[in-house]
Structure 1
Amino acid sequence: MQEHASAQPGSDTWIGKSIAVATRHPLGVGDAKYRWATSAGYADTVAFGLYAKSTFDKLGLYNEELLVNEDYEMNARLRASGGRIWINPEIRSTYYSRPDLRSLARQYFTYGFYKFRMLKKYPQTLRWRQALPPLFVFGILMLLLLSVFWWFARVVFLSVAAAYLFILIAGCSQEAFKQKSPELLFGIPLAIMTMHFSWGGGFWWSAITGFKKGNHVG
């Protein structure tokens, strides 16, 4: 069973509030149900989960070599053994998000970095929400490189960037108006962009450099 994590601002600033919204917004976390689910049901993973002791007796403890993603790795083992994960939003817990963009970027870079390491052992656990940031970062970098030599690549890059910004602003506008905070219309997209590019960048940095035992990027 899973506690529904309610994200609260890590600082009482407009960017702190924006980050809290971004970490529970579908554009920021995709189909991660434990962030935004409003009804009970099965999910692929949870955070702050409640497990029977027999689960650890059967599967072993958390993988301490993973500084992050250790809960996802545990849940991957649970599903592989035939278990299922149930989320119940009526059980509440409070999660305090990062207070500023710098700490948010570091957090999501670390997530992406260790996600690549985990996928080397469990490639079948990759979800579309996790594949999009690395693919997007790779595509943007390739377009930037090609735009130096090819005018059409510049057109495509500008078109993709404009579409991306439009989707973020349009998708986050409802929350900004709901909270009657115009600054969130700028802050939430900025936080989501930070999450996307940091996660994707961390993923590729892990792929390029490889993982050496004892590395700590978090």
Structure 2
Amino acid sequence: MSDHFISVIVAVKNEEEHIEKCLLSLIRQNYPKGSYRIVVVDGRSADQTTHVVNEYRSRYGDFIHLYHNPKEWQAAGRNLAIEKEEQSDLIAYIDGHCIAEENWLRNLSDVLLHSDVDVAGVGSIIESPSDESGLGRAIDRIFSTKLGAAGTSYIPRKELTVVDTVPFVLYRKEALFKVGLYDEEMKYGEDYSLNFKLRRAGYRLLVNPNAKVYYYKRKSVTEFYNQMYNYGLTKAILGQKYPTSLKCIHYLPSLSLIVLLSFSFLGVIIKEAFYTLGFIIAAYFCLLYLTSIYFSVKERDWNYIISIPAAYLVEHIGYSVGFIIGFRKQGWIE
């Protein structure tokens, strides 16, 4: 048994489709059972999520805790659990539509507990589960490229690396309290915000490529667009709250969209502007299709010829529109 205790927080809302797989993956961790606990925080689910969780609670007792989150969104739910889980000195989190590899906790804790105290957390890499949807696989592939994931935590790593932000992290609880926990007004982007506050306070974050989480992506174009729109919106709101949190790459998609629209309007007056616009669009689509051909040949999945360019378009447009609109908002809760 470890001298440390981990509370693994799973903040959920309407996750009946995946919550059982998530719980089973956490129950089956190759980690001493007396050294961690699963903590589900439910944000007023309208489906069978809590029913499934309660079934497992009846089998495993105090190994699984369930709290109810009246504010519904993840930042508030995670803070609630962190404050209530007094026994733990380490906090991990994972989403309800994820499956943790059996050595996930061990790989995270081995690195964190052998790191200097200025390492606030160690995070994971994301892969697609074997039963991922077709669109989900395409999203996973674009997130593995700089064109689809520059400036994010999705770029795959091959070795232990210091990063700006990282998903599915094992944190030192003390560090979380020092920076004021999650920003509860953030309905999205709470991870990026928290990790920025940690870095600003002088902490470091690591990603361990041996800590793997299988993450179910969005299944429909509409869901993926909304996700990317909210990502863009969040980045703009965070940029107002923490001006130094954003880098040039975060502005690039929206600036590109503005440039394209500007050339479209200029084309009405200046014919050469249309030629320039056509060249930019042609170059962009060539890049998308070259990427789709690469993955199609590599994995022998010719559906990528359509799904990967479509995923890129939805991602870039959704993020860009959200980012532009986000600068007109003062925050998520107004």
Q: TM-score, normalised by structure 1?
A: 0.90
Instruction: Name the amino acid aligned to 1:12.
Output: S
Aligned partner (choices 94, 119, 124) of residue 239 of structure 2: 119
Give the distance between the partners of 1:3 and 1:40, measured in 2 at CA: 10
Are the counterparts in 2 of residues 111 and 199 from structure 1 also a CA contact under 8 Å? yes
Give the distance between the partners of 1:104 and 1:9, measured in 2 at CA: 20
Give the distance between the partners of 1:120 and 1:172, measured in 2 at CA: 36
Instruction: Name the amino acid aligned to 1:97.
Output: K
Following superposition of structure 1 onto structure 2, how do residues 125-164 of structure 1 map, counting pairs within 5 Å?
A: 125-164=245-284
Q: Percent identity?
A: 27
Give the distance between the partners of 2:165 and 2:131, measured in 1 at CA: 24
Instruction: Name the amino acid aligned to 1:197.
Output: I
1:206 aligns with 2:323: no
Structure 2 residues not aligned, in runs of 5+? 1-121
Following superposition of structure 1 onto structure 2, how do residues 93-104 of structure 1 map, counting pairs within 5 Å?
A: 93-104=213-224
Instruction: Name the amino acid aligned to 2:157.
Output: A
Give the distance between the partners of 2:290 and 2:200, measured in 1 at CA: 38
Give the distance between the partners of 1:82 and 1:136, measured in 2 at CA: 33
1:32 aligns with 2:32: no
Give the distance between the partners of 1:129 and 1:193, measured in 2 at CA: 17
Displacement, 1:52? 0.5
Following superposition of structure 1 onto structure 2, how do residues 1-218 of structure 1 map, counting pairs within 5 Å?
A: 1-8=122-129, 12-13=133-134, 15-207=135-327, 209-211=328-330, 214=333
Are the counterparts in 1 of residues 221 and 314 from structure 2 also a CA contact under 8 Å? yes
Structure 1 residues not aligned, in runs of 5+? none
Displacement, 1:67? 1.0
The 1:189–1:8 alpha-carbon spacing in structure 2 relative to 1, beyond 3 Å, is: farther
Partner deviation per Cα, 1:14-40 (whole Å, 9 max, x = no partner):
x33322322333221115354411221
The answer to which structure has the higher helix fraction is: 1
| 2:211 alignment partner, SS class | strand
Displacement, 1:172? 3.3
Displacement, 1:99? 0.7
Are the counterparts in 1 of residues 233 and 319 from structure 2 also a CA contact under 8 Å? yes
Displacement, 1:196? 0.8
| 2:202 alignment partner, SS class | coil
Greater shift, 26-35 or 189-198, is seen at 26-35
Displacement, 1:11? 5.3
Instruction: Name the amino acid aligned to 2:309.
Output: P
Partner deviation per Cα, 1:119-152 (whole Å, 9 max, x = no partner):
0122212123312111111111111121222211
Q: Which of the pair has the greater relative contact order for Cα pairs under 8 Å at 6+ separation? A: 1
Number of residue pairs the alignment of both structures matches: 213
Are the counterparts in 2 of residues 10 and 97 from structure 1 also a CA contact under 8 Å? no
Greater shift, 73-82 or 144-153, is seen at 144-153
- Larger Cα-atom Rg: 2
Are the counterparts in 2 of residues 143 and 154 from structure 1 also a CA contact under 8 Å? yes
Are the counterparts in 2 of residues 9 and 20 from structure 1 also a CA contact under 8 Å? no
Are the counterparts in 2 of residues 9 and 99 from structure 1 also a CA contact under 8 Å? no
The answer to which structure has the higher strand fraction is: 2
| 1:138 alignment partner, SS class | helix
Are the counterparts in 2 of residues 44 and 85 from structure 1 also a CA contact under 8 Å? yes
Give the distance between the partners of 1:108 and 1:12, measured in 2 at CA: 18
Give the distance between the partners of 1:202 and 1:9, measured in 2 at CA: 31
